[in-house]
């Protein structure tokens, strides 16, 4: 007890406790007065309010931001949609109201009652959605019969509308109802079940920007559920508008060119990395996602062998085929395995070990050095180089050129591609690297896999003298007042550190491929502007494997090679780079190159391009 000192008088404590008691009484008196005020004085009024449950909260959805192309052409907007709901407690007698309504909504009364019963767990003052997006005629019919339809409410909600059906669907993406996982993951704090969120493409990438903030109002309603007074309103904040780097004219041109085929086209401004067009074919109907599609429609989409739901430009992994030869050429030149004068003789085949590796040209190319080898795409020349460089050194160059890893474009599910190494193969298959495989990968066959956007970035960097820009899809974000909220500028992902000589030789090879007789893309040259490019024909399956199938013709189609063409133009100081892949298009020179050529023409001043260039300045 000795510790408790200094206290002269234990009574002191007790006196102070008495002080607290007074404070406590005062506080409780305050509570009692308030209680009296609410219950005794305000009791009548509050009971009235409570009886009709008349203070309700209504949500105001924020209009989602719009999406424009680089020139300000609108690509996605919102249109008003009319949804019909019923508030069971206001709709009494419910059966009668539903009976009146059923015919107008093209449902049977029983179907509607079923919907209401499903939601019976909800409080009866909460609206039950009966039919979304009714047409204007139905709307008019309901308005006319208003008095026979108590408790029926029509909400106008903004619905996403993609202006150009199927166009740029893989870039823009689509919306879908928020899933339970998304709701619980915490990334969508403002969302509720039934909300639509971006599921794919730009709609998903820029979800937080496009979404805006929900508002709402407190309203007082009468016994019929009609609003008599708005007590307080919190305005919704509309989402920001997004301007893409896409050029809609060019985009449409590419879509036109690729129509009916499976494949991808991507175009980029090599000076900035801005994506000018990105097409993946076949496409899908984005509006169908918003209005809801049937199970059959969805089944048809996902079982289509041409994979319409995949953005082949960034998700599609293909053997690069002959377009890869520039990597082999660069590796050979930089490693000193060859120089500009080194020639190899091509008799049309190359013997390695006890196997014969054929050149695509049966008669052979004769003696070629690196520039002609690129121009004429001589396989034998690159077999020789590949054999000397070896897989692992080749892989270093491929990686340095941006292959084997995503480019970082702001779109979902971007594929890595694959740059094989001997260690990779041993780990993967357990079998050591075979010398012959050096030959296959040197011409872009074998294990190599690239995405069209990777190949495009590579060619754009060769074209602009060595800067690898991160492919950019967003131009800027503006708020509804038109003020720029965020503006994107070109980002350098890497710089190619090769000698000027190497660069020069590769660029010449690409120029000669299009502009000299014997070049593989000679047919696609353009008198107005010099184009540089490289064709490729990617083997899909070993042609020996014959499958037994019912439909020989279809099997034949799916065994055809993929056609590549990657190019930039003008050859000096390029303004556009294009990568084209046509699945089962057989030859790069005949199917893919004309598409790229048409794109370049459109962009650099074909029929409508002249004024476009002027507009851009």
Candidates 110, 185, 194, 232; binder of other proteins (CB under 8 A) is 232
CA–CA separation, 603 and 253 (whole Å): 10
Candidates 93, 186, 193, 260; binder of other proteins (CB under 8 A) is 186
Which span (216-224, 372-380, 474-482, 500-508) binds other proteins, by CB under 8 A? 216-224
**Residue-wise over 592-605: b if at least 16 C-beta within 10 A, else e?**
bbbbbbbbbbbbbb
Candidates 63, 99, 158, 216; binder of other proteins (CB under 8 A) is 216
String marking each residue 63-102 x if it binds other proteins according to CB under 8 A: ----------------------------------------
CA–CA separation, 11 and 13 (whole Å): 5
Should residue 188 be labelled a site residue for other proteins when binding is judged by CB under 8 A? no
Closest CB to other proteins among residues 40, 517: 40
Q: 3-state DSSP call for residue 321? A: helix
Phi then psi for residue 154, to 5 deg, are -115, 120
CA–CA separation, 258 and 580 (whole Å): 9
Q: Which of 167, 280, 283, 322 is catalytic?
A: 322
Which residues are CB-neighbours of 479 under 8 A, at least 6 positions away? 240, 241, 485
Should residue 10 be labelled a site residue for other proteins when binding is judged by CB under 8 A? yes
- According to DSSP H, which parts of 522-576 are helical? 552-559
Phi-psi region of 355 (alpha: psi -120 to 50; beta: other; left: phi over 0): beta
Segment 25 to 44, residues that bind other proteins, using CB under 8 A: 25, 27-28, 30-32, 34-36, 38-40, 42-44
Should residue 234 be labelled a site residue for other proteins when binding is judged by CB under 8 A? yes
Closest CB to other proteins among residues 44, 545: 44
Closest CB to other proteins among residues 181, 553: 181
Segment 42 to 61, residues that bind other proteins, using CB under 8 A: 42-47, 49-51, 53, 55, 57
Q: Does residue 322 have an active-site annotation?
A: yes
Should residue 231 be labelled a site residue for other proteins when binding is judged by CB under 8 A? yes
Nearest Cα to Cα of residue 401 among 480, 332, 312, 461: 461
CB 477 within 8 A of CB 410: no
Segment 146 to 175, residues that bind other proteins, using CB under 8 A: none
Should residue 5 be labelled a site residue for other proteins when binding is judged by CB under 8 A? yes
| Closest approach of other proteins to the CB of residue 445, in Å | 50
| Closest approach of other proteins to the CB of residue 19, in Å | 8
CB 168 within 8 A of CB 134: no
Should residue 24 be labelled a site residue for other proteins when binding is judged by CB under 8 A? yes
CB 289 within 8 A of CB 162: no
Tell me the β-bridge partners of 608. none
Should residue 17 be labelled a site residue for other proteins when binding is judged by CB under 8 A? yes
CA atoms within 13 A on the CB side of 429: 9
Count the residues of the shown chain that bind other proteins, applying the rule CB under 8 A.
58
Segment 120 to 139, residues that bind other proteins, using CB under 8 A: 121-125
Closest CB to other proteins among residues 124, 539: 124
| Closest approach of other proteins to the CB of residue 26, in Å | 11
CB 459 within 8 A of CB 552: no
CA dist 526 to 247, 252, 364, 567, Å? Answer: 22, 21, 27, 13
Q: 3-state DSSP call for residue 55? A: strand
Which span (19-27, 199-207, 293-301, 305-313) binds other proteins, by CB under 8 A? 19-27
Interface with other proteins by CB under 8 A: which residues? 1, 3-10, 12-14, 16-21, 24-25, 27-28, 30-32, 34-36, 38-40, 42-47, 49-51, 53, 55, 57, 121-125, 186, 189, 215-218, 231-234
Residues designated as active site: 322
């Amino acid at each position: 007890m000795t510790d408790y000192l200094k206290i002269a008088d234990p009574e002191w404590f007790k006196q102070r406790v008495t002080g607290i008691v007074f404070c406590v009484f005062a506080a409780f008196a305050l509570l009692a007065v308030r209680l009296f005020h609410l219950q005794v004085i305000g009791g009548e009024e509050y009971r009235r309010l409570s009886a009709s449950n008349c203070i309700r909260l209504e949500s105001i959805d924020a209009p989602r931001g719009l999406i424009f192309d680089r020139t300000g052409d609108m690509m996605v907007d919102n249109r008003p949609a009319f949804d019909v709901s019923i508030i069971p407690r206001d709709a009494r007698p419910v059966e009668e109201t539903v009976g009146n309504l059923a015919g107008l909504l093209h449902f049977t009364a029983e179907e509607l009652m079923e919907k209401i019963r499903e939601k019976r767990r909800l409080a009866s003052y909460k609206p039950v959605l009966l039919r979304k997006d009714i047409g204007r005629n139905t709307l008019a019919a309901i308005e006319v019969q208003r008095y026979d339809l108590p408790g029926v409410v029509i909400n106008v909600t903004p619905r996403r509308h993609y202006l150009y059906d199927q166009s740029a669907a893989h870039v823009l993406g689509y919306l879908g109802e928020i899933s339970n996982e998304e709701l619980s993951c915490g990334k969508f704090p403002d969302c509720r079940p039934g909300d639509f969120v971006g599921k794919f493409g730009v709609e998903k990438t820029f979800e937080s920007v496009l979404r805006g903030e929900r508002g709402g109002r407190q309203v007082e309603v009468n016994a019929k559920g009609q609003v008599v007074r708005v007590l307080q309103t919190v305005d919704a904040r509309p989402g920001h508008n997004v301007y893409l780097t896409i050029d809609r004219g060019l985009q449409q041109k590419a879509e036109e060119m690729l129509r009916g085929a499976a494949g991808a086209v991507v175009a980029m401004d090599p000076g900035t990395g801005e994506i000018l067009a990105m097409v993946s074919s076949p496409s899908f109907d984005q509006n169908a996602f918003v209005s809801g599609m049937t199970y059959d429609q969805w089944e048809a989409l996902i079982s289509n062998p041409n994979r319409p739901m995949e953005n082949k430009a960034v998700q599609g992994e293909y053997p690069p085929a002959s377009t890869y030869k520039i990597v082999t050429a660069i590796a050979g030149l930089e490693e000193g395995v060859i120089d500009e004068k080194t020639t190899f003789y091509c008799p049309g085949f190359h013997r390695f070990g006890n196997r014969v590796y054929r050149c695509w040209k049966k008669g052979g190319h004769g003696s070629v050095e690196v520039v002609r080898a690129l121009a004429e795409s001589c396989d034998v020349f690159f077999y020789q180089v590949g054999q000397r460089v070896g897989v692992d050194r080749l892989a270093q160059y491929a990686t340095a050129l941006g292959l084997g890893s995503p480019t970082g474009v702001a779109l979902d599910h971007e594929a890595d591609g694959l740059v094989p190494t001997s260690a990779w193969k041993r780990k993967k298959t357990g079998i050591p690297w075979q010398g012959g495989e050096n030959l296959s990968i040197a011409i872009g066959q074998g294990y190599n896999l690239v995405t069209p956007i990777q190949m495009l970035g590579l060619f754009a960097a060769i074209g602009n003298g060595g800067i690898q820009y991160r492919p950019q899809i967003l131009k800027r974000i503006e708020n509804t007042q038109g003020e720029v909220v965020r503006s994107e500028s070109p980002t350098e992902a890497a710089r190619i550190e090769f000698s000027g000589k190497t660069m020069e030789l590769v660029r010449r090879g690409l120029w000669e491929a299009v502009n000299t007789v014997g070049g593989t893309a000679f047919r696609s040259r353009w008198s107005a502007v010099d184009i540089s490019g490289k064709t490729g024909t990617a083997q899909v399956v070993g042609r020996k494997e014959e499958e037994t199938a019912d439909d020989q013709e279809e099997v034949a189609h799916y065994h055809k090679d993929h056609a590549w063409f990657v190019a930039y133009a003008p050859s000096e100081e390029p303004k556009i780079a294009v990568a084209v892949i046509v699945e089962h298009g057989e030859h790069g020179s005949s199917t893919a190159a004309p598409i790229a050529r048409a794109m370049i023409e459109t962009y650099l001043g074909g029929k409508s391009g002249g004024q476009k260039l002027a507009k851009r300045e």
